[in-house]
Amino acid sequence: MDFKSRYGEWLNLINQSLEAYVQEKNTPEKSIYRSMRYSLLAGGKRLRPVLALAVCELLNGDMREVIPFACALEMIHTYSLIHDDLPAMDNDDYRRGRLTNHKVFGEAQAILAGDALLNYAFELMLSHALSEAGSTYKKTKAALVIASASGAGGMIGGQVMDIEWEGKRIEAEALEHMHKCKTGALIKAAVVSSAILCNAGEKELEVLEKYAEKLGLAFQIKDDILDIEGSAAVMGKEAGSDARKNKSTYVTVYGISQAGHLLDRTIESALSDVIYFGEKAYFLKGLAEYVAAREN
Amino acid sequence: MDFKSRYGEWLNLINQSLEAYVQEKNTPEKSIYRSMRYSLLAGGKRLRPVLALAVCELLNGDMREVIPFACALEMIHTYSLIHDDLPAMDNDDYRRGRLTNHKVFGEAQAILAGDALLNYAFELMLSHALSEAGSTYKKTKAALVIASASGAGGMIGGQVMDIEWEGKRIEAEALEHMHKCKTGALIKAAVVSSAILCNAGEKELEVLEKYAEKLGLAFQIKDDILDIEGSAAVMGKEAGSDARKNKSTYVTVYGISQAGHLLDRTIESALSDVIYFGEKAYFLKGLAEYVAAREN
């Protein structure tokens, strides 16, 4: 199987699973499901769940065990976008090519839809952890990896720094730390949680962690470059929004040309990490190249 | 031990545990811990964690196993208050006798502090579920009970109805359903999760569930009565805010006198439920009486 067809196959699998997990219900609180689905099923690259499935294939794991966790990762990512887009935060009107959640459902509903997606991610992981008593420990451990990555010491901590540092000049080191938390932590958790579910050995886990850290960094550098060079139509959100908000990015700190070099070096390093897995790493290699080449 | 001294003892235990779990850190994202602590350590009745500890004592369970879950319940309750108080939601300025979170830290930080408390509740429960391999299944099950109660089918669903029905006349049945979700679900989860952790038998669980449902209902009726009759100074939040927001309450639906009767009947019924446990139910009885008599 080549990278591109596999990506398409897994995108479908994830989208179908997300659709099935969060269904519209005809209950008094039904509007919450509508607003959760609006953002969750709006497309997107599905980077985190795809990564989890890729690690599962690489390690010959059981896809049925990983899918709920892959979907939980996407729910957590989506909730963070909904809250990030709120007027009190980044105040963005477009996301994934459509109006942001609060623009359609109002701020109150958007706050609650985000809360509900975060909460549901845990409901989903916990109920799967209990589905077969023999694997509860392993699955609870995978859920904890994801919980730690998405909390105050990870993603939320990164969002806090992002807000506090708006309009301030920050050093390269602080920028890297912020992104390690804000986007890197959950990307790494996608890899590590799947590796735990698929019984990775110590060395395998070590290699995968290194790869994931570089992929997360490359993803962010590319994001910052796209914010300058990208087209709003392709990206599904407005370009130039970092500059408008006076945010420090890899481009403002390094300049566009140095940021490009840093991106290339990071991708090369990620590619060389996974040589360890030989041909089985075809997808992780393809994904690293895709992250660098993507236009949205 | 009498009810009042035991309550005081457990309040201290919970406040100390919460304080220890969410510590200030000298990290770049430190402000998130400050805003989490601001609301979490602002006092409050600690009804949910106290209930969990009471069930533990009743069933001769291990307090050390229940405390992390009791604290997680309070974190979830606190996050829901922070988000509920936001301008886009109830727009309240005071809570637990002090300015609301967003009034002190700004809206962005308040949204993130709420997110972080919800997320941390799960980190805490999951890490304790893994602390002794033998009890992972039971603890994961207790965490799932709490997750289901706090999600779209429980507390968040109740908040959605509360917002949607603002300014509308609703029937008694709808009001009861809304409150069963908004406040009842998490109160019941406090009892049920602790009962699971303490290996309750089937009959014990059944009795405790009935009691918890009535306690939750009584708590809400009393809340609605206090909103009319209470003093802001004693309550720590403004009185009359339901009326100002045109919310349906037990008082608007039944009238103040009928609401009082309903409260009395609900408490009596809760008291008769726990006769099953004999003298060991002294705290659950005391708590039911306290809920009806409280002034804040």
**Three-class secondary structure assignment of chain A:** CCHHHHHHHHHHHHHHHHHHHCCCCCCCCHHHHHHHHHHHCCCCCCHHHHHHHHHHHHCCCCHHHHHHHHHHHHHHHHHHHHHHHCCCCCCCCEECCEECHHHHHCHHHHHHHHHHHHHHHHHHHHHHHCCCHHHHHHHHHHHHHHHHHHCCCCHHHHHHHHHHCCCCCCCHHHHHHHHHHHHHHHHHHHHHHHHHHCCCCHHHHHHHHHHHHHHHHHHHHHHHHHHHHCCHHHHCCCCCHHHHCCCCCHHHHHCHHHHHHHHHHHHHHHHHHHHHHHHHHHHHHHHHHHHHHCCC
The answer to whether residues A240 and A228 touch, using CB atoms and an 8 Å cutoff, is yes
Q: Which residues contact A202 (CB under 8 A, 6 or more apart)?
A: none
* pTM more than 0.90: yes
Q: What is the pLDDT of residue A234?
A: 65
- Which of B31, B127, B161 is facing A29, going by the closest CB pair? B161
Q: What is the pLDDT of residue B233?
A: 64
Question: How far A266 CA sits from the closest chain B CA (Å)?
Answer: 25
Provide mean pLDDT across the span A64-70.
97
- Please check the confidence at residue A121 and state whether its pLDDT lies above 80: yes
Residues of B in contact with A130 (CB under 8 A): 137, 140-141, 144
**Strand, helix or coil at B231?**
coil
Token couple for A193: 């949680």
Give pLDDT tens digits for B137-188: 999 999 999 999 999 999 999 999 999 998 888 899 999 999 999 999 999 9
ipTM (interface pTM):
0.96
Provide mean pLDDT across the span A55-69.
97
- Please check the confidence at residue A244 and state whether its pLDDT lies above 80: no
Query: Domain residues of chain A, as ranges?
Result: 3-293
Give pLDDT tens digits for B86-128: 999 999 999 988 999 999 999 999 999 999 999 999 999 999 9
Given phi > 0 = left and psi -120 to 50 = alpha, else beta, which region is B237? beta
Kindly indicate the confidence band of residue A232, based on its pLDDT and cuts at 50, 70 and 90. Answer: low
- Please check the confidence at residue A187 and state whether its pLDDT lies above 90: yes
Quick one: CATH architecture of B3-293?
A: Orthogonal Bundle (1.10)
Kindly indicate the confidence band of residue A247, based on its pLDDT and cuts at 50, 70 and 90. Answer: confident
Query: Which residue does chain A place closest to B140, by CA atoms?
Result: A126
How many residue pairs from chains A and B have C-beta atoms closer than 8 A? 154
Kindly indicate the confidence band of residue A31, based on its pLDDT and cuts at 50, 70 and 90. Answer: very high
Q: What is the mean pLDDT of chain A?
A: 94
Q: What percentage of chain A exceeds 90 in pLDDT?
A: 83
Q: What is the pLDDT of residue A175?
A: 94
Q: Does A131 touch chain B (CB under 8 A)?
A: no
Provide mean pLDDT across the span A143-166.
96
- Across the interface, do A31 and B133 touch by the CB < 8 Å criterion? no
Give pLDDT tens digits for B22-53: 998 888 889 999 999 999 999 899 999 999 99
Give pLDDT tens digits for B197-254: 999 999 999 999 999 999 999 999 999 999 888 766 666 677 677 777 788 899 999 9
Q: What is the pLDDT of residue A245?
A: 78
- Across the interface, do A116 and B152 touch by the CB < 8 Å criterion? yes
- Across the interface, do B160 and A111 touch by the CB < 8 Å criterion? no
Give pLDDT tens digits for A201-219: 999 999 999 999 999 999 9
Q: What is the pLDDT of residue A212?
A: 98
**Which A positions 134-163 lie with beta carbon below 8 A of chain B?**
136-137, 140-141, 143-144, 147-148, 150-153, 156-161, 163
Question: How far B70 CA sits from the closest chain A CA (Å)?
Answer: 17
Residues of A in contact with B152 (CB under 8 A): 29, 32-33, 36, 116, 119-120
Distance between CA atoms of B62 and B284, rounded to whole angstroms? 18
- Which of B109, B133, B156 is facing A116, going by the closest CB pair? B156
- Across the interface, do A160 and B123 touch by the CB < 8 Å criterion? no
Q: What is the pLDDT of residue B132?
A: 86
